[in-house]
Structure 1
Amino acid sequence: MDRGMVGDVSRGRLEVEERRAGGSAVFTPKGELDFHTAEVLREPLDRSLDDGLSRIVVDCSQLQFCDSTGLNVLLGARLRAEAAGGGVHLAAMRSAVARVFEITGAEAVFTVHQTLADALEQ
């Protein structure tokens, strides 16, 4: 499994690390995903999808907050990934972030894993 760092992007309250692991593009957002920071995650997600990587894993273990704009970024990536035969897998969500997905019903449209290792195994 290739665990080399591909890059990282930062804008204030959100930093996103990205790497490849096997056939997956793995993103680790750190901080707050909201209206002001959504592009920090959207841009690398779009880039990976444009490059033909349709299996996306988002390691949410360091994501402290996600609002509706952040949720929409992930939903948009999911639609594109599924259209290309892949999907978006969410891993290790903190309770505050998981609650947003619960309240909106979005948890039902994503594959959610307890750990990053679980997400990478499938």
Structure 2
Amino acid sequence: MDRGTVGSAQSGRLLVEVREEGSSAVVTPAGELDHHTADLLREPLEDCLEKGFSRLVVDCSRLEFCDSTGLNVLLGARLKAEAAGGGVHLAGMLPVVARVFEITGAEAVFTVHDSLDAALAAETGRADEADGAG
């Protein structure tokens, strides 16, 4: 698979890495996503959409915290990706972050995967293998 690095952004509490994985852009935020750091995620997500990636996979496995501002960044990206014929897939959420999506009901509007591998396999039709679902 093509694993070209698209870019990264860093602040004291959030590091965002972006890479190409097949026809998806994989965005990996690490640290705390809140009103102080939200733009560090918003900008790479919007850049990916502007570059023609309509399928965004957000690897949440290193995301330690997400508040309502961070949630709104992801919801905004989802709307733009869906308007372009794609979507936003969330992968590997830690329990503390998953809880935010659960209590707000946001988990119902995203495609959520247990792992990054499962999210990437969903693109190629191997989702049953990776998620263990039927």
Q: TM-score range by the shorter chain?
A: over 0.9
Higher relative contact order (CA 8 A, sep 6+): 1
Corresponding residue SS for 2:53: coil
Residue 11 (structure 1) shift: 1.3
Pair member with larger Rg: 2
- Aligned positions, number: 122
Residue 5 (structure 1) shift: 2.1
Corresponding residue SS for 1:117: helix
Ranges in structure 2 where 5+ consecutive residues have no aligned partner: 123-134
Residue 91 (structure 1) shift: 0.1
User: Which residue of 1 is the match for residue 85 of structure 2?
Assistant: 85
**Runs of 4+ with deviation above 2 angstroms:** none
Corresponding residue SS for 2:26: strand
User: Which residue of 1 is the match for residue 64 of structure 2?
Assistant: 64
Q: Which amino acid aligns with 2:58?
A: V
CA distance in 1 between counterparts of 2:28 and 2:67 reads 17
**How high is the TM-score relative to the length of structure 2?**
0.89
Matched, 1:17 2:17: yes
Q: How does 1:1-122 map to 2 (within 5 A)?
A: 1-122=1-122
CA distance in 1 between counterparts of 2:12 and 2:4 reads 24
Task: Provide the alpha-carbon RMSD of the alignment.
Answer: 0.6
